[in-house]
Structure 1
Amino acid sequence: MRCEIRHTTEYHYPKPAWDSFNEVRLHPVQEVRQTLRSFHLNVTPEAEITSHKDYFGTLVHHVHVHEAHTELRIEAQAIVDTHAVTLPLPAPMSVLEDVRPRNIEFLVPSPRVPAGDWPEIFEVRRPGPKDDLPSFLSDLNTFLYHRFTYDAKATGVNTPLAEFARHGRGVCQDFTHAMLGILRQLGIPARYVSGYLYSGGEMRGAEATHAWVEALIPGYGWLGYDPTNNRLAGEKHIKIAHGREYSDVSPVRGTYYGGGQGKLDVAVHVYGEQ
């Protein structure tokens, strides 16, 4: 599938701001499941733009606006070809033993996915060493989809995972953090993925950047699971970045002097064709 993405972030300030410095993670990755055809980053007013790759391999753009301004517009445009995923072969849970030491960063607690008895809290059965890993991951994806209610107004970007567990309502970030907490407590390396979703009106979470989980299946690699929509991350999922949690992949964040209390507007449009 060919997908065209336009992601616009606008800041409006009641007073002039200056020395605005932003980290921008909006560049889709190039990997087996997707091919990046083009990417353009447009900033108004004129800005100094540099880039580097972070610890997880994400291309990060640094946008620095020196002059005084009351509006800042950052628009990312990309064209990406996505490809169908292949399914992994059956594999027992015991195959994870050899890969855990090399993927410890995706097993340990993090601020938004803290340590906890998440399998018990979310009422998930702990699998045995002979249980099939791909089947367990697929079943968990389905379970979380039915267990929780998608509600864009129920949580915010800083809502703790424990609060989502109590109320059972939230957005893709919450579904993803919940699945991460469960998998890590079970010794399954798992990472947070940010990206876009071409919905066509049939899936949840397409109005902004989307989030899903990638779990490590030895002998196969990382496979994406979208518990918000009970799907594998396939041709309609466009990946930007991965990390331990949302904080590692937030699309745009920054600082500035002056300006007062700014207003943020974000618009995401994803167009796709087979």
Structure 2
Amino acid sequence: MRLKVSHSTSYSYEPAKSGLIQSLRMWPSVYAGQKIIDWRVDIDAPSVRRGASFRDGAGDLIETVVIRGPVEQVTVRVSGEVETQDLSGILRGHVEKVPPLAYLRASRMTRADPALAELSADVIASTGGGLDAAHGLAAAVAEAITYQPGETESDTTAAEALALGRGVCQDQAHALIAMAHCADMPARYVTGYLHATADGTLHQASHAWAEIHVDGLGWVGFDPANRCCPNDLYIRLGSGHDAAGAAPIRGMATGQGAETLAVDLHVLDASQQ
């Protein structure tokens, strides 16, 4: 499948910032499941200096951007086309240097509490481990945390989302990572794009899911929000220990004042354009 992406992220500052540094992780991953046909990342802002890009130990392409002030508005625009294949969630052919065991470390967002540990233990007891256990953990998260926007915040933890019983894809991914850690299975957070949900609804925001390292298969993606493994409707961008570590845009601004964020995203089937 060929997916066409148009994505803009705009930051407005009042009063203007005296300077801004951004780290961008907005390029599709290089692996057997997707091929970049065309891809551009542009920055609309005065006095922009783009640094050299590099691939980190997780295989993600990262670029640092420095913007000198005064900065009233910055817009990061992504446009491109990617050819995708359905590999049943398996991250085949992805080159990275970080060993899977590094992803057994929990962050504040993915730290398990007794309720997460108990739910994980119940799944492992019924599945025995391996790929079946990974599927079981994802299914348990989907049942325990209903997808419902507006119920959680960007800093809601996995434990808090489970206690609430509602959340978004970020919360479900964090909970799945926490439960996998309880079963001694390396797991990490993944960001990317999704063409449509299971019911055919087009996505208006970027998407997130989790990958679990399964013996004999390697990294396998699981999306509790849509109760599936990522397929050819997904574009993978990058990974991290949690949402903060895998964020497509991370930044630090100099100066006091309020920040306003606006996002516009379209992920379309290129064959229908």
CA offsets, 1:137-162, max 9 Å, x none? Answer: 22332232222211110111101222
Structure 2 stretches lacking a partner, 5+ long: 91-98
What is the distance in 2 between the residues matched to 1:200 and 1:143?
A: 19
Shift, 1:36, TM fit: 1.5
Match of 2:223 among 221, 226, 247: 226
Note the 1:181-260 alignment, pairs <5 A: 181-199=178-196, 202=199, 206-258=203-255, 260=257
Q: Distance in 1 between matches of 2:138 and 2:120?
A: 13
**Closer/same/farther in 2, CA of residues 243 and 203 from structure 1, 3 Å limit:** farther
- Considering only aligned residues, what root-mean-square deviation do their CA atoms show, in Å? 2.5
Match of 1:39 in 2: 39
- Whole-Å Cα distance in 2 between the matches of residues 111 and 119 of structure 1? 14
The structural deviation recorded for 1:32 is 1.1
**Structure 1 CA distance for aligned equivalents of residues 202 and 181 of structure 2:** 24
Counterpart of 1:14 in structure 2: which amino acid?
E
SS in 2 for 1:157: coil
Distance 1:71 1:132, change over 3 A: closer
Matches of 1:7 and 1:87, distance apart in 2: 24
Instruction: Give the length in aligned residue pairs.
Output: 262
1:173-193 C-alpha deviation (Å, 9 max, x unpaired) = 100011111111101111111
Identity percentage over the alignment? Answer: 25
Deviation at 1:14, TM superposition (A): 2.3
**Deviation for aligned residue 1:222:** 1.3
- How far, CA to CA, are the matches of 1:22 and 1:14 in structure 2? 18
Shift of 1:115: 4.3
* 1:12-31 alignment runs, 5 A limit: 12-31=12-31
User: How far apart are residue 207 of structure 1 and its match?
Assistant: 2.3
Specify the SS of the correspondent of 1:15: strand
C-alpha distance 104-200 of structure 1, shift in aligned 2 (>3 A):
closer
Aligned pair in 2 of structure 1 residues 185, 42: CA closer, same or farther (>3 Å)? same
TM-score if structure 2 supplies the norm length? Answer: 0.86
How far does the alpha carbon of each residue in 1:193-217 deviate from its partner, in whole angstroms, 9 at most, with x for none?
1111110682689321211111122
SS of the residue 1:196 aligns to? strand
Structure 1 portions without partners, runs of 5+: 89-101
8 Å contact kept, 1:105–1:244 = no
Q: Secondary structure at the match of 1:219?
A: coil
Q: How does the TM-score come out when normalised to structure 1? A: 0.86
| 3-state SS of paired residue (2:269) | strand
Secondary structure of 2:39 counterpart? strand
In structure 1, the residue matched to 2:107 is 110
Task: Find the aligned partners of 1:144 and 1:205 in 2 and give their Cα distance.
Answer: 23
State the secondary structure of the residue aligned to 1:232: coil
